[in-house]
Amino acid sequence: MLVLRSAILRSCQTRSLALSARSFVPPRIRLLSFSLQNGSRFSREFSKLRPRVDTARRPPPSPTRFKQVADNTILPDFVGLRPGRDLLKCLAFTGVVGFGAFTIAAITDYRRRRLDFDRLTEIARNFFNQNHDQPTLSEGQKCALALVALNVAVTLLWRVKPLAPAMWRYFSNSFASKSLTVPMVLSTFSHHSVLHLVVNMYCLFSFTHITIDKFLGVDQFLAFFLTAGAVSSLTSLVQKLATRSTIRSLGASGAILAVLTYTCMMIPEARLSVVFLPQFDFSAQNAVYGLLAFDLLGLLFRFKLFDHAAHLGGSLFGILYALYGEDLWKLYYQKVVKTYRRVIEGTE
């Protein structure tokens, strides 16, 4: 019995010593073992955050990757999708752009008519006996070429890498960017790809000189173009908010479609044709119907190749201006000129 009890006591003592040896772990080793055991639990959550942490340190993407990063959150000016109330800022900015543009247009048009630059130019030509025929550009063609040159210059700026952050922030329209209102106008003159630029500038030059020389004049046209660009950007932002999209858009397509639909509404019987398919022609009025149907379907089915919301907004602005714009312009022009003469010139 004594031998058995001593054996049991010895076994209990060895077990207690083993347990005490296992339970005693230095503090540093305990921390290390805790981190190894629990680190795997947080690795999955951290892996979700890691891409954003890493990409936040990256430099702005190269403009050659516009399609890949247009819907990405790696851009330095990305702030997340804005609340819906920010659309009120966009609406107010559009109103300010339209009001300011047409006010300046009325004043400059009044001063242009009063100074009568065309008559002074004709007198100067006769004075220097320039009777030989010289090919001259119309006012509409000069304005169209100036707009084309401006768009080409902005496209070249996209190729300057140090300017990439500023170009992304101010020359691309997005509802998830730090700059919300200014890009609504600046993105109208911004093109990234050469093909996009060439197609838009061809359409711009084709319809701009007709619209200026036959209907609006330079001053009213520029106000019309800027306002159409702001309106098309506004409709694009509304669509982005409705679909919770952070995609960025740019280009003069919305403003150009406003010019196109306005001209087609003013000359509905004119015949149009596609550049590479001249054998197929159609009336200008049918062209308007086709454009509206195409962009409406693209908006409903969420086609991603074009910004159909911006196109639709520009087209509707051009149609409405063709129906009501001329009468509204005459009334507003008279009020602005009357105020200008009373305040600036001191006459009635």
CA 140 → CA 64, 209, 251, 280, 341, distances in Å? 34, 4, 21, 27, 28
Average of per-residue pLDDT values in the chain: 80
Q: Which residue bears the tokens 């040896």?
A: 21
Q: Residue 37: its pLDDT value, please?
A: 45
Lowest mean pLDDT among 58-62, 251-255, 282-286, 324-328: 58-62
- CB-based contacts of 15: which residues, under 8 Å, 6+ apart? none
Q: Residue 87: its pLDDT value, please?
A: 95
Residue 145, pLDDT above cutoff 80: yes
* DSSP helix/strand/coil, 245: coil
Q: Residue 118: its pLDDT value, please?
A: 58
Q: Which two tokens stand for residue 97?
A: 């752009």
Q: Which residue bears the tokens 């300017």?
A: 163
- Over the stretch 3-47, which tens digit does the pLDDT of each residue have? 434 444 455 445 444 444 444 444 444 443 444 344 444 334 333
Q: Residue 78: its pLDDT value, please?
A: 87
- CB-based contacts of 58: which residues, under 8 Å, 6+ apart? 74
Query: With contact defined as beta carbons under 8 Å apart, do 264 and 285 qualify?
Result: yes
CA 183 → CA 3, 63, 168, 232, 254, distances in Å? 95, 17, 9, 12, 14
Q: Residue 83: its pLDDT value, please?
A: 92
Residue 274, pLDDT above cutoff 60: yes
Residue 288, pLDDT above cutoff 70: yes
> Which helix or strand (DSSP H or E) is residue 105 part of?
helix 87-115
Residue 96, pLDDT above cutoff 50: yes
- Over the stretch 218-252, which tens digit does the pLDDT of each residue have? 999 999 999 999 999 999 999 999 999 988 999 99
User: First and final CA of the chain: distance in angstroms?
Assistant: 132
Torsions phi, psi for 278 (to 5 deg): -70, -20
Question: Side-chain half-sphere of 103: how many Cα atoms within 13 Å?
Answer: 8
Query: With contact defined as beta carbons under 8 Å apart, do 234 and 184 qualify?
Result: yes
* DSSP helix/strand/coil, 130: coil
Beta bridge partners of 272: 282
Active site residue 191: no
Q: Angle 115-118-119 (CA atoms, 0-180°, nearest 5)?
A: 75
Beta bridge partners of 282: 272
- Name the residue among 328, 301, 344 with its Cα closest to residue 114: 344
Percent of the chain with pLDDT over 90: 58
- Model-level pTM? 0.76
Q: Residue 133: its pLDDT value, please?
A: 54
Catalytic: which of 172, 253, 308, 315? 253
- Per the rule left: phi > 0, alpha: psi between -120 and 50, beta: everything else, 244 is left
Catalytic: which of 191, 192, 209, 311? 311
Active site residue 253: yes
